[in-house]
A and B are shown apart, each in its own frame.
Chain A
C-alpha cells in the first residue's frame, strides 16, 4: 500500500499499484502512473484507456481481452485489432497495465 500525490491530493494505491478508491481517478493521475513506468501516453493509449473506462462504467469489470481486441479492431482497423498491438502499447499486458492507468480494479478469481 502506498500513496501518491497528484494535483495536490494524496491518492491511495493498493499493493499492486491499483487505485483503492476508483473515484480518485483523473487524467493527470493516469499520466503520472504511466510516467512512473517511463511511458508517455499517446492518442493510441488513450483510445484503449477510454474504452476500458466506459466499459467498466457499464459492466463494473474490466473487459475480457478478447472484447478489447475486437473493439480496437472496430474503431482502429484490423491491423491494430490484435494482442500484439496492445502489448506494444502496454508492455506489461493490456489487462494489467492499461487497467491500472484507467483506474480499474484487478480482476480476481480463477483468472
Chain B
C-alpha cells in the first residue's frame, strides 16, 4: 500500500511543465513501475536478451545493436499491421483523448495523455519512416531513438493498461491499446518486459496457467472449494476433469482457483453447473482463460492461446464456455479465431438447457458465462431468491475488455437485477463503454507499482465512492479476475467498506439448489440477514 494517505494522493497537479515535452527527460519514480523481467522467465519461453538486470539500475544491459533491432522490428510491424501504420499517421493531436485516461487523471503527468503516450513512439516513427521527418527533423515533431527515449517508452507503455477508454473518444478511432501492444512488442525484442507479466507467461507456457498450478493442485483446490460449498449449502458436487466426450469444456482464469474473492466466483460456477446437470468438464491442461502472453507479443499470445482449441479437440467437446475474465475476452473475441482457428471441429454453441443458439459465437465457438447465464434466467431455468443478497447494495464495474472489447454490457446487468434487490449504477460517464479501468490491468497488478495502481484506479474509486455515499453501496461487482484482486486493494484504500464480488457469486447466493439446506449464510459465510459491511480486514488480502 502506498505510504501516502488518500487525501495526499488525491491532490493532483495538472499544470504541465513549461518546456517542450521532448526536453523533459523521463524520471523513473519508485512505486510507479514494476520489476524487470527475470532471466529465468525470459529464457523459459525463448524471449530475447535474458540476463540479470534491474529496472532500477542505469545499465539495462542492452545488446550493442539495440537500435537496429528496434527499428527493424518497427519496420516489420509497419508492414505487417496496417492498423499500426495508420495509427502512426492519422492522429491530428486534437487532444480529445487527453483527459480520458485514468492514469492521466490520477497522475497529472502529461505523458500519460494517450496522445502524448503515442507520440513517444510516433516521434521516432516520423524520424525514421517518413520523408518529412527525415528532412525537417525536430520541426516535424520527430526525434532520434536514444537510450533515454527507450526508457521513456518502457516507463510509460507500462503505465498504460490497454483499457481503450481513450479510443472511445478518438474521432479517428485510433486504438491506443494497439499502439501500446506494439510498443511492448518492440521493448520485448530487447528483453525489456516486466516480471509480473513474464513470470505468468513462463508459468503458463510450462504448466498451462499463470499461477503455475499443476494438475493435482488444480483438483485439490477445487476439492477444497467443493467442501466449502457443502458447508454452506449441504449440496455435494462432483465435477469432472479432462473428461473425453463431455459436451462443453469450461475455461476460466486460474486466479479464480486461488485468490479471494475470485474463489467465491469459482464456487458459483461449480454450483450453477451442478444445478443444471450440465455435461461439462474442467481441464487441467487448458487451465488458464487469461493470456498474459498478449501483453508481451502477438506471437506469444497466440502460443499460449493455442491450448484451448487443442484441448477442446482432444476431448471432443462440442463447444467452449468461458468464465469471468477481462483481457481473456479481448483475446477470445478478437484474436483467437484468426490466431488458432478456424475451430471447425467444434459446433456452433447451443445451450443444452434452453436451446438458444449463440450465433454471436458461431465462429469462435466460445460463449461467455454471462451470456450463458442471462439466457438461463430469461427462460426461467433457475429458481432465484434475490432476498439472499439483501445484505448487499450492489454496483457494477464494467470490466474494460468485455465492455469495450466485445460489447458485453447488458447481460451482466440483466443477471444482477434478477438476483439482487439493491442495484445502483455509477454515473453515466464512468460505466458501459466509458467505464474507468481498475488501474491494474494488462499485467500491471504487481505490488511494487502500488502508487501507480492506486492513482490509476482513482477515477474508478471516485465513482464508487459516489454511490457508496449516496446509496450506501457496499459491494462492487465485476466480471474479471484482475478486477476482483485489484479492486479489492483499491477499495480498501479509497472507499473502505466496499467489497468486491463476481457476478456468478451473486447468482450462486440467490440460486435455489436441489437438496439444499436452509441457507443461513452466503458463500463467504456472512449471515444472510444483518450482515456487516465488512469494515474489518477479511480473508481477501492480496497475495
Contacts and interface: CB of A to CB of B under 8 A. Distances in A.
A28 B47 CA distance: 36
Contact of A110 (B35, B38, B214, B325): B325
Given A111-B211, A111-B485, A15 B543 contact: no
B297 to A, nearest CB: 18
Contacts of A84: 537
Task: Give the contact-size bracket for chain B.
Answer: 35 or more
Most buried by B among A1, A15, A66, A109: A109
Given A109-B211, A110-B253, A110-B481, A64 B259 contact: yes
B199 to A, nearest CB: 5
B516 interface: no
A67 interface: yes
A24 to B, nearest CB: 15
Interface string A28-64: 0000000000000000000000000000000111101
A108 to B, nearest CB: 5
Task: Give the contact-size bracket for chain A.
Answer: 20 to 34
Given A61-B217, A110-B481, A93 B541 contact: yes
A70 B255 CA distance: 20
Given A15-B54, A111-B211, A106 B290 contact: no
B541 A107 contact: no
A60 B214 contact: yes
B221 A108 contact: no
Given A16-B447, A61-B213, A110 B538 contact: no
Contacts of A93: 541
A111 to B, nearest CB: 4
Judged by DSSP, the binding face of A is loop
Nearest to B213: A61
B220 to A, nearest CB: 7
Interface in B297-332: 325
A22 interface: no
B54 A59 contact: no
A109 B292 contact: yes
A83 B538 contact: yes
Interface in B412-460: 445, 447-448
Contacts of A109: 200, 203, 209-211, 253-255, 258, 290, 292
A110 B541 contact: no
B456 to A, nearest CB: 17
A64 B260 contact: yes
Nearest to A96: B543
B52 interface: yes
A65 B485 contact: no
Given A59-B214, A109-B200, A111-B542, A15 B35 contact: yes
Interface in B247-275: 253-256, 258-260, 262-263
A108 B537 contact: no
Interface string A1-28: 1000000000000111000000000000
B539 A15 contact: no
A96 to B, nearest CB: 7
Given A60-B212, A108-B203, A109-B210, A65 B543 contact: yes
A96 B210 CA distance: 18
A65 B260 contact: yes
Contacts, number: 103
B482 interface: yes
A95 B543 contact: yes
A69 interface: yes
Given A61-B217, A109-B255, A110-B482, A95 B541 contact: yes
A69 B541 CA distance: 13
B221 A64 contact: yes
Nearest to A64: B258
Most buried by B among A15, A84, A87, A95: A15
A110 B217 contact: no
B216 interface: yes
Given A64-B263, A93-B541, A107 B258 contact: yes
B211 A108 contact: yes
Contacts of B81: none
B196 interface: yes
B172 interface: no
B345 interface: no
Contacts of B195: 15
Interface string B236-254: 0000000000000000011
Contacts of A66: 224, 228, 260, 263, 539
A110 B539 contact: no
A60 B208 CA distance: 14
A59 B209 CA distance: 14
A59 B196 contact: no
A110 B481 CA distance: 6
Given A16-B448, A61-B211, A107-B543, 12 more contacts: A15-B56, A60-B212, A61-B212, A65-B260, A87-B537, A93-B541, A95-B542, A106-B543, A108-B210, A108-B211, A109-B203, A110-B482
11 contacts: A15-B54, A15-B448, A60-B214, A61-B217, A64-B258, A65-B539, A69-B539, A83-B539, A95-B542, A107-B259, A110-B254
Interface of B: 35, 38, 52, 54, 56, 195-196, 199-200, 203, 209-214, 216-217, 220-221, 224, 228, 253-256, 258-260, 262-263, 290, 292, 325, 445, 447-448, 481-482, 484-485, 537-539, 541-543
